[in-house]
Structure 1
Amino acid sequence: MLQLPDMRIPDNRDTQLVLGAAACVGVIGVMVRAYLRKSDSGLPLPPSPPTWGLRGHLLPAHNTSLTVARWIDEYGPLVTIRSGTQNIVIIGRYKAAVDIMEKQGALLADRPRLAAAEIVTHGLAISLSPAGDRLRRKRRALHTHLQSKAAEAYEPLQISHAKDMVLNILDNPDSFQDHVATCAAATILKVAYGKTTPTSASDPEIIEARQLVKRIRVVLRPGAYWVEAIPWLKYLPWYALDLKDEFERTKRLFTGQLNRVRQQMQSKADIGPSFAKYMLENEDVYGLTETEMAYVAGALFGAGTETTSVAICTVLMAAAHFPEEQAKVQEELDEVIGRQRAPTFADKQSLPRLEAFISEALRWRPLDGLPHRATEDVIYENYCIPAGTTVTGNLWAISRDPEVFPEPDAFKPRRWIDDEGLVRDDLTYFLYGFGRRVCPGLQVANRSIFANLLLVLWAFQLSLDPTKPQDDMGFTNAAMPNVPCAIEFKTRVPEVELRRMMQNCLGD
């Protein structure tokens, strides 16, 4: 008798096992193909540290750059790591960063398609938007308020807020990180929304914006979410509920701010200029939806506040850690300004030591930026970065390239000054990113950083509090506020005189 095959439907557990095995085989197959992939040129990817994990190379949540820098030291200026099925090429030397990210920047103007980031932003965040016409329109709108000439107009505002920060430090030096965040937020809220009401680090809108920045940094870390290895997880309604909630909160925050400006305009209130007002007055010029306009303004509000705050705190921490170098800056401040008047932006060209100190501090403890995506094959020496590959620069390793920064672990502001005593123009610390995705707000941010350091280092002598814990790596994770960093502020001007000068009008 002919024996028919068993046609019974397997039970649920058997089905789950079969589907699970099939999914695993599929993922492993994709991983292997990605790992062995070569370009049409026949050149290989840059070398890679070994890993057999399904999620690829898992990086630590804190001090990630140190792990990558060790790989750079071992394998060379470029390394390849894997996040799920995606390859990521990391650049860790200065020359390679310039040759790839700057000189071939047109091929790297895109952003990678990251599933977790898509859940939390829905593609609306300008910093993660793919290259193309829509991104160009968003950046063109931002440049109306952020280009160099426009940024000069904010200098009196920035000096005013820097004076407020000095007064806040006088009143409560232990909370200097909050004061820095408040100062940065107050400036950018005025630029973005015309807001002039008192601001503090505890304002709900500031807390929400900074939480968004923190969440974005988490989702960009390779291996942070399973969805990067198994993309179909994003279609499951119960997956990554925290990211979905974050999107809704952020959307409410940004649209709420834009609508507030719209209501003020409709009431004929004299609210003064702002980026949000400009966008609402020119809705048809850039072809953006209302939600997109809200997110473009929100990019100023969110990222601008956090990056500027972290940079300022990093330089303050460096001043406390390196008192001899701090003293050289203050000697220059005394020679140029003295202690009988408050400094202004007009003094900037005469303060190369201060500028060099800021540059060295941001080299000493750098922040890593956002990843790029190659739209075409990128050739570098004997390697090829295939189109579609994620590419990122590791600023910790780049800033410690011994060929460009001799004695890289030493704190030497003098390396940023040329033989004529001027700030060098042939070096950069890439704080604001690379190539065509460089941060459009760098002119405003640089002025905010300079204004605050100018006022604080002129007004105070900074030192570490030996009785409290210190974490000199804390700000590299962009975790503001309350990084373990206790600084003592001793006035360099009699307090009564200092308060008088800080409370004077903007024209002093």
Structure 2
Amino acid sequence: MAYATALLALLDIRTALVGLLAFLVLSWALRRPRNLPPGPWEWPLLGSLPTLALASGEPYEVFLKMSKKYGPIFTLSILGQRIVVVHGYDAIKDAFQNPSLNDRPESHMITNMLDGSVGIASASGKVWKEQRKLSLNVFKNFGVGKSSFEDQIAREAEQLVYEMVNFKQKSFNPTKLFSTSVSTIIASVIFGKRYDYDDPEFQKILAGIGRNMELIGAGAAMQFLPVTKYLGFLPSMREMQSNITTTVNFTKNIIKNHVKEFNPDDMRDFMDMYINEMKEKEDQRVETVLSLNNLVSVINDLFVAGSETTATTLRWGLLYMMLHPEVQTRVQQEIDTVVGRNRMPKLSNKPDMPYTEAVILELQRLGNIVPLGVPHRASRDTSYRGYTLPKDCFIISNQWALHTDPELFPEPEKFNPERFLNEAGEVFSPDEFIPFGIGRRVCPGEQLAKMELFIFFTYLLHQFTFKKPVDSPPLTVKGHLGITLAPQPYQVCAVPR
């Protein structure tokens, strides 16, 4: 009798578990949005996570393989978050020019660490529009991205040359030098101050930002998942928190001093102009998102966006020049022919240096430093190419796949600057080449980045020939994926010309 009772109890437990499982599966199936793009099987609760975990390769490589099976537009779900991955120029363009697909997901990880402060990169709606418009106007007033700003970039390029000369042809890792030189340019606009290469506080900030770029993860997509707000106990999250706290305190101290010293008749830098606009709107009782709290995030966004991508591209530049000395020699010959040896290159020389410009474009294509772009978010249910993208889903563009498409770029793995030159030897950049993104959320610092890349790259090759140290490990173009795709650490020798 006792045995029969125990058996019945066990059967009841099993029945209950089966019923619970059936309920979860049915609930998941009923809640799944209709008319979604195709995609792999999704497990209840976990979604596509097991599929992705078992796949080999970097996320952008995995997504490209999936596109071969499911088509250029497919859908995934990760822990309840719907994600749509888009391949191909036309599909990416259609998505990112759609006003309903131009919001940003909330960066739960960063927002929590910044006490709710919102900047530009992860903002949407009025917050994004007002702060982006102000930032662009301020940069315009300071001449950023215009030829009048060239002298400031040139001074930092000259300082970088000086720093490299000091190594006296001995091997060094250029990461810190590039990070400092490029960051100093944007710092002078934002903070109104130039920081020396040996400034300990500034170097600590740069080191923290660089480390967080590695910790955030592939294409920055993971930081937007709601689950990240509950992962503060992880060692990597605690390290990020520490780095962000250091940067925030650094920024807040500068803001505090700017507020104290504020003079509406003397606009020294970006901070002054932001504070001035904020005060004017408050005095006029005009509704505004501008605040000292949000200014912290705006500065963080501008500082990171204005330094990390350019510095990483320059690191790829030296790496490929060591791997392709024939290309390096040809660039040097063009510089010498157009510029000569008695002065440094200028932006006005750029039209007469098509091969050098083509090399820079090829560096951006192969470097692919933002391989999955920055995620967008649907602000409402949106009809897109025959599918329905549900409100709050993420849209990710596989720019790596686009820039390595053999139909657009034959032999895509080959370093070939000539692909950006037409039959007349003029620079030609196809529409499908979008290193700065596309649509309304295109990188606002595109013009500044182009100026910096040209000036830094030509200054360096005018002054040096870059060679691999004899005793250093073999060079590799296999990148390390954090928030950007960066080269593996390497050593280089700068041999004066």
Q: How far apart are residue 166 of structure 1 and its match?
A: 1.2
Aligned to 2:368: 366
Tell me the alpha carbon deviations over residues 338-381 of structure 1, each in whole angstroms, 9 at most, x when there is no partner.
Answer: 22222122212211211111111111120222100122445454
Cα distance change of structure 1 residues 161 and 237 upon mapping to structure 2, 3 Å threshold: closer
Q: What residue identity is the alignment partner of 2:339?
A: I
Q: Which moved more, 1:483-492 or 1:302-311?
A: 483-492
Match of 2:336 in 1: 334
Q: Deviations over 1:315-354 (max 9, x none)?
A: 2222222222223322221221122222122212211211
Deviations, residues 400-435 of structure 1 (Å, cap 9, x unaligned): 122222222222211222333322254354332331
Distance change (3 Å), C-alpha of 1:298 and 1:112 = closer
| TM-score, reference length from structure 1 | 0.79
Where does 1:54-65 land on structure 2 (aligned, <5 Å)?
A: 54=46, 56-57=48-49, 58=52, 63-65=58-60
Native 8 Å contact 2:56 2:62 kept in 1 = no
Q: Does 1:207 align with 2:210?
A: no
Alpha carbons of structure 1 residues 321 and 475: separation in structure 2 relative to 1, 3 Å: farther
Structure 2 partner of 1:144: 137
Q: TM-score, normalised by structure 2?
A: 0.80
- Contact kept? 1:472, 1:485, Cα under 8 Å: no
Structure 1 vs Structure 2 CA RMSD: 3.8
**Helix, strand or coil at the partner of 1:89:** strand
Shift of 1:230: 8.9
After TM superposition, the structure 1 = structure 2 runs for residues 492-507 of structure 1, keeping only pairs within 5 Å, are 492=497
Q: CA deviation at 1:214?
A: 4.1
Q: Choose 240-249 or 142-151, whichever is displaced more.
A: 240-249
Asked if the contact 1:311/1:362 (under 8 Å) is kept, the reply is yes
Residue pairs, 1:298-309, within 5 angstroms: 298-309=300-311
1:410/1:218 Cα in 2 relative to 1: closer, same or farther (>3 Å)? closer
Tell me which residue corresponds to 2:272: 277
C-alpha change, 1:379 and 1:193, in structure 2 (3 Å) is same
**Alpha carbons of structure 1 residues 61 and 461: separation in structure 2 relative to 1, 3 Å:** farther
SS in 2 for 1:282: helix
Query: Once the 2 structures are TM-superposed, how far is the Cα of residue 385 of structure 1 from its aligned partner?
Result: 2.8
Closer, same or farther: CA 181–239 of 1 in aligned 2, 3 Å: closer
Superposition deviation, residue 481 in structure 1: 9.0
The 5-angstrom pairing of residues 366-405 of structure 1 reads 366-368=368-370, 369-405=373-409
Instruction: State the AA in 1 paired with 2:88.
Output: R
What is the rounded CA distance, in whole Å, between the counterparts of 1:121 and 1:24 in structure 2? Answer: 40
Contact kept? 2:60, 2:398, Cα under 8 Å: yes
Shift of 1:194: 0.8
Q: 1:100 to 1:282 in 2, by over 3 A?
A: closer
Q: 2:85 aligns with which of 82, 90, 102?
A: 90
Which deviates further from its counterpart, 112-121 or 394-403? 112-121
Distance 2:393 2:433 in 1: 24
Q: Are 1:161 and 2:161 an aligned pair?
A: no
**Cα separation, partners in 2 of 1:230 and 1:282, compared to 1, 3 Å:** closer
CA distance in 1, matches of 2:198, 2:479: 22
2: distance between equivalents of 1:23 and 1:292?
A: 46
SS at match of 2:467: strand
Q: Residue 162 and residue 54 in structure 1: after superposition, are their counterparts in 2 closer, same or farther (change >3 A)?
A: same
Letter in 2 for 1:322: H
Q: How does 1:20-35 map to 2 (within 5 A)?
A: 32-33=29-30
Aligned position for 2:3: none
Q: Report the 3-state secondary structure (helix = DSSP H, G, I; strand = E; otherwise coil) of the residue aligned with 2:425.
A: coil
Aligned equivalents of 1:366 and 1:420: distance in 2?
A: 27
* One-letter code aligned to 2:444: P
The 2-side partners of 1:377 and 1:211 are apart by 37
2:103 pairs, out of 100, 103, 110, with 110
Corresponding residue for residue 505 of structure 1? none
2:257 aligned to 260, 269, 293, which one? 260
Q: Please report how far the alpha carbon of residue 46 of structure 1 lies from its aligned counterpart in structure 2 after TM superposition.
A: 3.6
Per the alignment, in what secondary structure is the counterpart of residue 307 of structure 2?
helix
Q: CA deviation at 1:465?
A: 3.4
Structure 1 pair 272/23, CA: closer, same or farther in 2 (3 Å)? farther
AA matched with 1:258: I
Deviation at 1:131, TM superposition (A): 1.8
1:328-477 superposed matches below 5 A: 328-368=330-370, 369-427=373-431, 429-465=433-469, 467-469=471-473, 470-474=475-479, 476-477=481-482
* Counterpart AA for 1:432: F
CA contact 2:367–2:486 (8 Å) conserved in 1 = no
What amino acid is the match of 2:33? R
Other structure's SS at 1:87 match: strand
1:322 to 321, 324, 327: 324
Distance, in Å, in 2 between the alignment partners of 1:70 and 1:49 is 15
Number of the residue aligned with 2:37: 45
Between the aligned residues of both structures, percent identity stands at 22
Change (3 A) 1:299 1:338: same
Q: C-alpha displacement at 1:220, in angstroms?
A: 3.3
State the 1:192 CA deviation.
Answer: 0.8
Deviates more, 1:356-365 or 1:207-216: 207-216
CA distance in structure 1 between the partners assigned to 2:212 and 2:23 by the alignment: 34
In the TM superposition, 1:210-289 aligns within 5 A as: 210-217=210-217, 220-222=220-222, 228=226, 233=230, 248-265=245-262, 273-285=268-280, 287=288, 288-289=290-291
Counterpart contact for 2:374–2:396, Cα < 8 Å: yes
